A and B are shown apart, each in its own frame.
Chain A
Amino acid sequence: MRDVASILPLDVRAVAFHGDGRRLVDSVSFQLPAGGLTVILGPNGAGKSLTLRLCHGLLTPSEGRIAWAQGAEGRNRRHAMVFQKPIMLRRSVEANVLHALAAAGTAGSERRERCRTALERFGLSERAGQAARLLSGGEQQRLAIARAWALRPELLFLDEPTSQLDPTATGQIEELLAGLVAEGITVLMSTHDLGQARRLASRVLFLHRGRLIADEPAAEFFAGPASPEARAFLAGELIW
């Protein structure tokens, strides 16, 4: 692989996002260095999804800035995103991956090879020719991750990737994510599932009503968070 300067650490500085006449994300700041799996945790409406989209570039901040260490714009952005409900093109499984590779500017000959590798890595080779939309929910999400992985991202965003899946599929996805982290891919994902956060996170960013309440290593956060909202959340009380 070419020796290219990394886009990380990601620097999120006092980012705010206005909508519905409110500050849906309010003055959020954090830095994301390379490595590990960081979980954005929080109740519904906390602004988790918005924060991910702002970082990925799908939304423009109303205030503040999102800065990558090295320019991560254009077609080779080196960060990719997987959504809560997998977005599958009306094509075959492999066509979905090939399409993403083509969009990212990969040369024709290289595309086939990287697609094949991706499908193998994620156990979808047998399904290569099938219509992607006919796959089960878990398989579709696996394909979405495979598709994003094929783009060789340094950072992978995931927006509540298992909230629509059954426990078995959830477990499979969590295994895959752990594997990605082991490979060296940095992961930033949101979830409202406490158990999942405990299982996967090395660091926790806790959001409540658009504000970043806590930013701690996972062990510390789950042992006993400082803020009352976080404590209430951990106790299973509904807060939004």
Chain B
Amino acid sequence: MDFGAIFSAAFALIVGLDPAFLAIVGLSLRVTLTAVLIAALIGLPLGAALALARFRGRSAVIVCLNALMGLPPVVAGLVVFLLLSRSGPLGPLGLLFTPTAMILAQVLLVLPIVIALTRQTVEDLWGEYRDHLRSVGLEGVRAIPTLLFDGRFALATALLAGFGRASAEVGAVLIVGGNIAGYTRTMTTAITLETSKGDLPLALGLGLVLIALTLAINAIAFGASRIGARYAG
């Protein structure tokens, strides 16, 4: 099969809006966006709190967090699998092989990124704003909304980084999702499957969508950092 045939077949699938194809793309977006949202809800306040807190072992926590940013997706998948399996501690929830399990695994991957980058951003801003914020009565925890809002562009970039990491991974969602047709099949797991079946046009079509998505994310991140730089003066 020559490259030309593969490429044109791939484009045909994208343009033709094949329903199975759209379902796969839709699920991928749903899982990853939900994971990023949850990671943001948990990670932004946690990262900010960590930036302001001082306690014994704080440095160790920060080092571990930074290391967790590079947690191999398959490992995250394995951990969630062992937790959610019927034979595992959270078995009664019956969440294995569902999109929920995939979201949980991806939260594990995105959360360290959000917390670590939020901590860095908020710590830097606090160093700069501390005198003024304390002067107007915003001490400790009460300063967090101000710090998070003023760091919005850097934090948005952090969330986009998290989204990029989650949308690109296959190890975690494959293990905990099971790649069930029409239910837990995402772009990355579908590419794995179709490649192993030798169905390259479909695999490539999905790959092109994934690349386009990554490009879009990076463009937005770049734009956000440019706007942020302007506001920072």
Contacts and interface: CB of A to CB of B under 8 A. Distances in A.
Direct contact of A and B (CB under 8 A): yes
Interface of A: 56, 58, 74-75, 77, 80-81, 83, 87-91, 99-100, 103-104, 131-134, 151
B233 interface: yes
B3 interface: no
A90 B151 CA distance: 8
A81 B231 contact: no
B135 interface: yes
B222 to A, nearest CB: 18
Contacts of A58: 131, 134-135
Given A87-B129, A103-B138, A133-B233, 14 more contacts: A58-B134, A74-B137, A75-B137, A77-B137, A81-B135, A87-B128, A88-B233, A89-B150, A90-B231, A90-B232, A91-B150, A99-B146, A103-B137, A132-B233
Interface string B105-143: 000000000000000000000001101111111100000
Contacts of A90: 150, 228, 231-233
A104 B134 CA distance: 11
Interface in B137-173: 137-138, 146, 150
B131 A83 contact: yes
B230 interface: yes
Interface bin, chain B = 10 to 19
Interface SS of chain B: helix, strand, loop or mixed?
helix
B128 A104 contact: no
Contact of B136 (A91, A104, A131, A134): A104
A87 B131 contact: yes
Contacts of A77: 137
Contacts of A88: 233
A131 B150 contact: no
A133 B232 contact: yes
Nearest to A53: B131
B231 A133 contact: yes
Contact of A134 (B134, B137, B233): B233
